[in-house]
Structure 1
Amino acid sequence: MTEDIFEEIDDDIVGEEIEQGDSEGGELHEHYRFVADKGQSLIRVDKYLTMHIVGISRNRIQQAADAGNIFVNDTPVKSNYKVKPNDVVTVMMERPRRELEIIPEDIPLDIIYEDDDLMVINKQPGLVVHPGFGNWQGTLVNAIAFRLKDTPGYDPKDPRFGLVHRIDKDTSGLLVIAKNELTKAHLASQFFHKTSKREYIALVWGQVAEDSGRIEGNIGRSLKDRLQMVVFPEGDYGKAAVTNYEVVERLGYVTLVRCRLETGRTHQIRVHMKYIGHTLFNDARYGGNEILKGTRFTKYKQFVQNCFAICPRQALHARTLGFVHPRTGEEMLFESPLAEDMVQLVDKWRGYIASRDTNS
């Protein structure tokens, strides 16, 4: 049970690939809390936790620290931090402990492929993926539990089944679901070894200068704001992350881009694009819900506000998902058309640019 609690820190290897991190609002949940004794001698926090948590490996603790999940006195620390007397050491995760009950719910799903081993779902924006703070029911996991409730051996609380990777509540697009342990292990291995294919379409603020590019930089939880992830270009904090992007269409003060992931980190595309100066359009978590580019004219400001209303979320869609079928060995490739709100958003920007060019 203890290993399961920590599995979500291994973004790819255990299949809990967190492309943008299904943290559902960024809320962290306390899994363990220890208060060091008054006579506590100085000891590394990874060793301290290994001594206090039954069945956990020191390597797991170190991975948790790298991911920003180990806190001392409410501040994230690295694994070499020395615990002192009266320190409050906590392990914080992005999901509640697995003791929560998963209630099957008959929630409509857009299933674009299904067989005895897996199913591929086109997730609508606004659907929370995993139960968590403020969203205990009505999630994708509840819907999957209902869909698979008659599958032999299926247990919605068993991490060996179900979600292979996750995307944010407000990100639309493709997800693959495993119906058995063998399928999940095989797919998780593909995500870890980067043999799966994942492409996203995003609308970002500003004119992206290069037609294509590669963004590298460790991603970890912000030391100033727990709800945000940030890039650490130097040092060993956070986890290595790589995003490749290509310009699809230039639309004046915004750009439509295609992003291909080599890794799967929490909020990866959102954080990497902001890092190079192109925050996702209407991404409230990272400031994209402000007018970051354009004019000061009232008419333009109203146009942007209308755009925000059309697509009231970060403009990000998981368009392409490819993998090798665990049982048949067949190359599987799925594509999902842009969600309707993003279609309308892009069309509105096209109309704005055409009108501007006509009047200039």
Structure 2
Amino acid sequence: MAAVRIGGGSTERQRAFYTALYHAQLHPNIAGDVDGRYAGFDGKTRTASGFTPYQNLSLWDTHRPQNQLLQMLQPKVARDVALSAVAIGRDGGWLPRWSLANSETNIMTGDPVTPFLVEAWSKGLLAGYEKEAYALLRKNALETPPADSPYNGRAGVAAYQERGYIPSGLEPGKDCPDKGGDNDCRHPASATLEYAAADASLALMAQELGHSADARLFAARGQWYRNLWDSSLQQFRPRTTDGTWLTPYDPVEAGHQFHEGGAYQYQWLVPQDPAGLVSLMGGRQAAEKRLDAFFAYGRLLEDPAKTAREEWISAPYDYYGKPTYNPNNEPDLHSPTCTCGRAHPRRPPPWSGPR
């Protein structure tokens, strides 16, 4: 279709780009037969109407960059994928997090389906299904699936609504639902940040659809990321059930309180309020210095390849123990990608700051 064309660079680099572009569109994949029939999440044979069903929605992984790419390059496919997620909620009673074929794996944490569907809605890709999608999203944000459901949903939502954060120390299966896979209560700090970001996105949809009370509720909850900000450390820090800070605490290791990362990787996960985050960090200049340190920027300018391999990526699945950027994992993709500050002849154009 020639949706993307590039020029310049070596043949090898162009080949690498187009190969990556191809790989980025391998999944999700079509789930239905030629007559529209597909295996529903209730175990029944369903027939799609008005959309082509897709499966294998790894939403924690894809809601950040891949779905936006799909929306730009293949909007019809992107609509079908979004409506497939709505169909999962319709057929199985609950929205997915990481669906495999016609089952929920409960892999990864947070609430990725909300920003995924809200963004699809904002692009007009849910036209005709807005009310149904919103009802499913609202239920997902406020309730947990029943005991006989295979979905974990927002496993930590009860504690989150009670305290404004998910506390450290909750026991999955006892204090929060556990249907297998990963669990928000095992990674309470990152799940809190992900819930807050999801709530803030849902507030936009609620407001536009005329649900003003819901919009105010979810917008307020979008600010709950602040409940984990320790001003003495200038970092996000888990809290216990009694409201005290988790002690002892190392923001680099973070005791797996953050999923596949530590406080340094998750310090930028406030896409809903970058200006507020910069303010907590001490202002724009302090945030710029923090970005420089996060990207190991001085060393990166001198030797990009060595810095990326030694400072950024230590091993394919090593997500813990570093205070720097990790481009092979999804949470880091929310971080700003360049800094401003002092004039430097080899710096990229200045970051314009939060908008």
**Shorter-chain TM-score: which interval?**
under 0.3
- TM-score, with length taken from structure 1: 0.26
Structure number with the higher strand fraction is 1
> Which protein has greater RCO, CA pairs closer than 8 Å, 6+ apart?
1
- TM-score, with length taken from structure 2: 0.26
